Amino acid sequence: MHRSGNDFTYIHNLKKGKHAFKFIVDDEWRFAPDQPTVADVEGRINNFIDVSDFDAYVGDDQFLLKRDKSVANDLYARDVPDLDEYTKDPPPLP
């Protein structure tokens, strides 16, 4: 693990699927209560991550083409405010 301010990071390549994990803090196994959890067969609580649908970017053009197609199907709009919206006085304070 690497410390960055108050946070710690650890990078590990996981195979696609579902993974349970815990942390060792002060020589005790602990889970992070602010992350998703799952109980194992013995009832112990573990953190949980699902990377079944994760597609890693490996620098190939097909990844970018697939990503661009999904972005192209999304709708984007741009509302241009009227000029008088910029020239009005601000509303009075209560």
Per the CB < 8 A criterion, the answer to whether 54 and 62 are in contact is no
Residues in CB range of 30: below 8 A, 6 or more apart: 22, 23, 24
Predicted pLDDT of residue 91: 74
Predicted pLDDT of residue 22: 92
Residues in the chain: 94
What is the mean pLDDT, run by run of 10 residues, along the chain of 94 residues?
A: 82 89 90 92 93 77 64 62 75 74
Predicted pLDDT of residue 38: 93
